[in-house]
Chain A
Amino acid sequence: SQTIHQWPATLVQPVGSPLSLECTVEGTSNPNLYWYRQAAGRGLQLLFYSVGIGQISSEVPQNLSASRPQDRQFILSSKKLLLSDSGFYLCAWSRGVTNTEAFFGQGTRLTVV
């Protein structure tokens, strides 16, 4: 069976510090990978998606970047965090075809102070 791991679960970082959130998927190959952000009481906003190693598409301009160094590894990064980067970050994967559901990790609660 497929599993998705996302860590850490919670993170408190000072403004201006770097960020690295990691997500790995097991039990599947060549998945589509996604990073979403969720503000409190809001829906999910797609930040980045990847259809293959080294292939990253950004959905919204922001202070964050993403990388996919391996087939089942997706990393969300920032060189200098802003207060507005606080939120709940979710990694997800789907099979590399259309009309299929996405499976989510448990999320990382990031608080920038």
Chain B
Amino acid sequence: GESVGLHLPTLSVQEGDNSIINCAYSNSASDYFIWYKQESGKGPQFIIDIRSNMDKRQGQRVTVLLNKTVKHLSLQIAATQPGDSAVYFCAENIRNSWGKLQFGAGTQVVVTP
């Protein structure tokens, strides 16, 4: 079935560098996307979202890019910090699905000193 998937299961980043986490989706009916951060043993926390009528959205140190042509989503974290170490999930909301979110497998980000 169609699903959200992630290209890299583990990403090692040096502190201070920028991180880029990628996500591919295959459902063309998806119209809303979210990035979540999950620390070990905790529930996922909302980072940033983007609607399908946008191609870029910026938050504090984070930027989400959406390329609908190739069905690709990315999360960029500027000046990665040790506290950014976590698993990052992308999730998609399929149009007319009452808000149900479909999650990918996640990317483990490890920040090294």
Residues of chain A at the chain B interface (Cβ within 8 Å): 6, 32, 34, 36, 41-46, 49, 51, 90, 92, 94-107, 109
Contact = CB atoms under 8 A, between A and B. Distances in A.
B103 A98 contact: no
Interface centre among B42, B43, B100 (most CB of A within 10 A): B43
B86 interface: no
Interface of B: 31-32, 34, 36, 41-46, 49, 51, 89, 91, 93, 95-106
A36 B34 CA distance: 16
Contacts, number: 63
A104 B98 contact: no
B103 A32 contact: no
A99 B93 contact: yes
B34 A101 contact: yes
A104 B106 CA distance: 16
B46 A106 contact: no
A99 B46 CA distance: 14
A42 B87 CA distance: 10
Contacts of B43: 6, 90, 92, 104-107
Contacts of A109: 41
Interface centre among A90, A96, A104 (most CB of B within 10 A): A104
B99 A107 contact: no
